[in-house]
Amino acid sequence: MNIIIVGCGKVGKAIAEELAGEGHNIVVIDKKQTALNSVAASLDIMAIKGNCIQLSTLEDADVEHADLLIAVTNADEINLLCCLIARKCGTKHTISRVRDPEYTQGLYLIKEELGISMVINPEYIAAEEIARLVRFPSAIEIDTFTKGSVELFKISVSENSLLNGLSLNNSSILKKYSLHVCAVERGREVIIPSGDFEILAGDKVTIIGTPRMIAKFCKKIKLMNHVGKNVILIGGGKITFYLAKELLASGADVKIIEIDAKRCMELSEMLDGATIIEGDGMDEQLLIEEGIETADVMVSLTGFDEGNVILSLNVSTISKCKIITKINKFSFENIIDKMDVGSIIHPKYLMAEYVLKYVRAMHNSYESNIESLYSILGGKAEALEFKVKSNSSLIGRKISDLRLKDNLQIACIYRKNEVIIPSGNDVIKPKDSVIIVTTHSGFDELDDILVH
């Protein structure tokens, strides 16, 4: 597909990386040459310097024949106007980033009137992701498939966990709850485990199953699985606003610590029911006074990655609460993975993932049969949901007879509201939804999982 990306900041670069990796023809536009150089240096794509709302710039990018334009500059109004111009010039689909909370209620009208295919708010997406983790504090990461009937649930294995030393071949506890270990992070290594794999302390394990059975399993192995009711948010930005609204609506007690007095006043006017504290979230004594030791969840949401990491590390020494850390840059990924900063949220990459899902869905209407796609394990693996077509070569064959590619696993089959954790004797049928976990990328068809 021919795709134009307008805006080469962190979000634009993340989207360009994902889509270029899928084999699409990418053109990026930005006013700043340095931003273009940063993207072009690492990716084999076309870069154009110019104003995205000038017709001549868009014509240089061949807007008339573009399948999709994605506008992710820092200005909402510029993004919307660029999408409108692109549609008038012949671009088939457009996606606009819109961040201002004041636009939230009218987004569906804006989308309809301007003919925009998708409007995305990265801060709202991040807030929704964090809210899911607050609802289930044991999880490091949660992804859903088949409209919520199946979940991928990532947890960390401690020394005293019942999972420590567990061989998957002899795992009666997983079989009892119809669960399946489909991926493991061990240090910097990502493993798609076979039956003889043994789980060790320190592993980050991704399990697939129904939400109900996962909840029962977590209770059995004594993982914290009560909903986080007492939540402390550090930083008062847009994500905090959206998250606080979500949590307050669910009945949680929300306390926000923000250093800027003016922003505290704004939040107090916008968030009825939240407790707003003017102060420095890095002040340990303030945190203790505000109840960090007895809190269920703490989310570090300041505008500085380094500050969020240090804050989360400090809280891990004084509280047993669930910790969630917002990080925008991947610069220190390998170091941060070794630190006790709880669940990590990358807003920029969450948006890139949303865009990739949309592009996959567009591709789906022509060639692919992917229903959902998640980048998991820090982008080192993918979980894909396929709808089985009647002409698939996998139909009617035992899974044990299939020649699957390496580092790939058929993790789940969803059939007529039934979740099946497959054994070697199970077969795939037409109209099944099949969930695959793999370190490979670029699959379009279910049959791509086979060795040809």
Whether residue 58 is contained in a domain is answered as yes
- pLDDT value, residue 429: 93
Residues 93, 9, single domain; the answer is yes
Whether residue 197 is contained in a domain is answered as yes
Three-class secondary structure of residue 202 per DSSP? coil
Beta-carbon contacts of residue 3 (< 8 Å; ≥ 6 apart): 19, 24, 25, 26, 27, 66, 67, 68, 69, 70, 359
Q: Tell me which of 199, 220, 241 is where a domain ends.
A: 220
Listed in sequence order, the DSSP H helices in 177-224 are 211-220
Residues 135, 94, single domain; the answer is no
Q: 302: how many CB neighbours lie within 10 A of its CB?
A: 21
Local confidence pLDDT in tens for the 452 residues of the chain: 899 999 988 888 888 988 888 788 999 999 999 888 888 877 888 999 999 999 999 999 999 999 999 999 999 999 999 999 999 999 989 999 988 877 666 666 767 777 788 888 888 889 988 988 887 777 788 888 777 788 888 888 888 888 899 888 878 888 888 899 999 999 888 999 987 899 999 899 999 988 888 888 888 887 765 667 899 999 999 999 999 999 998 889 999 999 999 999 999 999 999 999 999 999 999 999 999 999 999 999 999 988 999 999 999 999 989 899 998 875 556 666 667 788 888 888 888 888 887 887 676 555 556 777 777 876 788 888 888 888 899 999 999 999 999 999 999 999 988 889 888 899 999 989 999 999 988 787 889 899 87
Whether residue 402 is contained in a domain is answered as yes
* Amino acid (one-letter) located at 86: A
Written as six digits, the tokens of 209 are 């199953």
- pLDDT value, residue 357: 77
Whether residue 226 is contained in a domain is answered as no
Whether residue 158 is contained in a domain is answered as yes
Whether residue 227 is contained in a domain is answered as no
Cα 360 from Cα 22, distance rounded (Å): 9
260: CATH: 3.40.50.720
Residues 200, 253, single domain; the answer is no
Residues 287, 198, single domain; the answer is no
Burial of residue 151 (CB within 10 Å: 0-12, 13-18, 19+) is buried
Residues 190, 276, single domain; the answer is no
- pLDDT value, residue 1: 87
- pLDDT value, residue 273: 92
Total number of domains constituting the chain = 4
Residues 366, 433, single domain; the answer is yes
- pLDDT value, residue 277: 96
Structural domain containing residue 208 = 127-220
Whether residue 225 is contained in a domain is answered as no
* Amino acid (one-letter) located at 244: A
Helix or strand run (H / E) with residue 287: helix 284-289
Q: Tell me which of 102, 120, 138 is where a domain ends.
A: 120
Looking only at the bridges linking them, the beta strands covering 180-186 and 204-209 are antiparallel
Q: Tell me which of 186, 220, 254 is where a domain ends.
A: 220
- pLDDT value, residue 362: 73
Residues 111, 137, single domain; the answer is no
Residues 171, 261, single domain; the answer is no
358: CATH: 3.30.70.1450
Residues 304, 398, single domain; the answer is no
- pLDDT value, residue 247: 92
Residues 107, 181, single domain; the answer is no
* Amino acid (one-letter) located at 141: E
Whether residue 76 is contained in a domain is answered as yes
Residues 109, 168, single domain; the answer is no
Residues 168, 97, single domain; the answer is no
